[in-house]
Structure 1
Amino acid sequence: MNAPSTSTPPEATRIEADPALPTIVITREFDAPPARVFRAYTDPDLVVQWLGPRRLTMRIDRYEARTGGSYRYVHRAEDGTEFGFHGVFHEVRPDERIVQTFTFEGAPDSVSLETAVFEDLGGRTRLRATSLVESVETRDAMLSSGAAGGIREGHERLDALLRPSAAAEEHRRIADVFTERVRGVPEGAWENPAPCEGWAARDVVRHLVEWFPEFLKSGAGVELPKGPSVDEDPVAAWTVHREAVQALLDDPATAAKVLSNPHTGDVPLDQAVDRFYTADVFMHTWDLARATGQDERLDPDKCAQLLEGLRPLDDVLRSSGQYGPRTEAPEDADVQTRLLAFIGRKP
């Protein structure tokens, strides 16, 4: 029996079946570093989100992704039909290699040996997975039954899971600007008065580094790594904090988590970070720039977006104590001036 055709565009999953060997070789590149792709292969909370075709749901009974561990999961069709799979992890080398057995419980005497290698392409990953089955005939029967389509659909789902969220990209963009202002503070300027009453420039960084970790811990059970104190080294304190928040948002598991707070209710974690924290970084960028004599310009599109979102919450914001009274802005003022006036600043 000849191996089924497995031609596919070069940017997609490539499935190769050597006519002379009982193997299936699967290759695909992902726009994520090996550590993230490896985790998606070994963390059951992530595996359940991508493994297999879209038409099937997945239940994991156990998934001990360690050398000597075992796994079992079940795919379920809409009509209730279930397909069970199990195996043993023979080698799990973090971010590099996984070797495991694979058995479809509908054919319990057929066991394949699977080896997945994660190659670092400098921020990208080339996955090469090889399945060794008992015979060419068994291999061809697997591919003819639709396995190739399920593999490709699973990889498409994994690609989407690994893709940075809008919240992650927005934080990266806004935090980059704030980081430039932090690093640009002139020597001796950290004690300059800031626009927020009673604050110095140092306190702008202190505010962001201190309030948000507690907010995350109490609302989502997430603890961020701690850097040095802001009094000791404000640049390093901000850098550690910023990288920790970015890592949280870049984590594919974050979108499935929820932040619960008596004032906000239940909000998907990535959306909560974007709505309550990234917006705060954006607005405090002006405070730090004003306090230290740096470029005070803000992205006008983001200013307009925030102003539109804040206006309906006027009473709630004032009563929270987080925003002072609005200041007056000329009718013909630009959107940055109007936003700053709304949150109580005097541009």
Structure 2
Amino acid sequence: MGQEPGGYRRALDLFEGVVCGVPRDGWDAPSPCEGWTALDVAGHVIAGQYRIRALALGAPPPGPADDPRRHVAGDALMAWRTARKECAAALTPEALRRPVPVGSLGELPLGDYLGAYILEPLVHAWDLARATGQPTRLDPDLVHHAFATAHVVAAPLRAAGRLGPALPAPPGADEQTRLLAFLGRSA
């Protein structure tokens, strides 16, 4: 079994907890991600696990994720657990040291990349919880680290049309609300 970095593992655990809480009839609920349902959000995060697995193995990443549902045929929880297990098995100490491309930032060891990657499952856990009527409070420590990552990755994502504009956060908002507003979500 692999060696998932702590914050990354906690973000995946949080996401899995939300997936477990989705009611059977909740997968078609609209999510805060424009045009996506709860099932699309789950499929997107599952696709991310397969991308990380490919990076860990030094293999080409899977094709574009324009259809996130292709990763969730059948039971979404089972699809998530399968993807997570396969990804975790690939996260050997050697794989975590492997340099991986990080856009304009060049390359980072995969373990460092995963430290920043917590933004993805964390924010999508909130999206999924919001779509399915579950509690939306996130781990404050993970939020703090994810916010730092968001400041680095937001501009290129916005330029590529993959992230909407930031929204104003209410005065006195907590860090989670500020993070979500920065990512274009209204908490």
How high is the TM-score relative to the length of structure 1?
0.47
Would you say the 8 A contact 1:248–1:254 is kept in 2? yes
Q: Distance in 2 between matches of 1:315 and 1:321?
A: 10
CA distance in 1, matches of 2:24, 2:39: 12
Q: How is 1:184-199 mapped onto 2 (pairs within 5 angstroms)? A: 184-199=21-36
Counterpart in 2 of 1:62?
Answer: none
The 1:308–1:264 alpha-carbon spacing in structure 2 relative to 1, beyond 3 Å, is closer
| 8 Å contact from structure 2 (residues 116, 146) kept in 1 | no
Task: Choose from 109, 118, 132 the match for 1:268.
Answer: 109
The corresponding residue for 1:339 is 179
Structure 2 CA distance for partners of 1:241 and 1:321, relative to 1, 3 Å: same
- The equivalent of 1:202 in structure 2 is 39
CA RMSD of aligned residues (A): 2.6
The 1:315/1:262 distance shift into structure 2, 3 A limit, reads closer
Residue 194 of structure 1 and its aligned partner are, at CA, apart by 0.4
Q: Report what 1:238 is aligned to.
A: 80
The alignment status of 1:283 with 2:120, answered yes or no, reads no
After superposition, give the CA deviation of every residue in 1:265-318 in whole Å (9 maximum; x if it has no partner).
221012223323x32001111001001111110012222222234335543332
Which residue of 2 is the match for residue 83 of structure 1? Answer: none
Residue in 2 aligned with 1:306? 146
SS of corresponding position for 2:24: coil
Q: Among residues 89, 93, 118, which one is paired with 1:252 in the alignment?
A: 93
**What letter matches 2:180 in structure 1?**
L
**Would you say the 8 A contact 1:213–1:223 is kept in 2?**
no
CA deviations on 1:42-70 (whole Å, 9 max, x unpaired) are xxxxxxxxxxxxxxxxxxxxxxxxxxxxx
Q: Percent of aligned positions with the same letter in both sequences? A: 36
Q: Indicate conservation of the 8 Å contact 2:27/2:38, yes or no.
A: yes
Deviations 1:5-28 (A, max 9, x none): xxxxxxxxxxxxxxxxxxxxxxxx
Structure showing greater relative contact order (alpha-carbon pairs closer than 8 Å, 6 or more residues apart): 2
1:110-259 superposed matches below 5 A: 164=3, 168-214=5-51, 217=54, 221-222=58-59, 229-249=71-91, 251-259=92-100
Instruction: For residue 223 of structure 1, report the CA deviation from its aligned partner.
Output: 7.4
> Which residue, out of 146, 153, 156, partners 1:316?
156
Q: CA deviation at 1:215?
A: 6.2
Gaps of at least 5 residues in structure 2 are 62-69
SS in 2 for 1:326: coil
What is the 5 A alignment of 1:20-169?
164=3, 168-169=5-6
Which structure is larger by alpha-carbon Rg, 1 or 2?
Answer: 1
Which structure has more strand as a fraction of its residues? 1
Partner SS state of residue 288, structure 1 = helix
Moved over 6 A (4+): none
| Pair 1:174–1:262, CA change in 2 (3 A) | closer
Code of the aligned partner of 1:267: L
Number of aligned positions between the proteins:
179
Q: Which runs of 5+ in 1 are unaligned?
A: 1-34, 37-163
What is the SS of the residue equivalent to 1:272?
helix
Counterpart of 2:41, as a letter, is: V
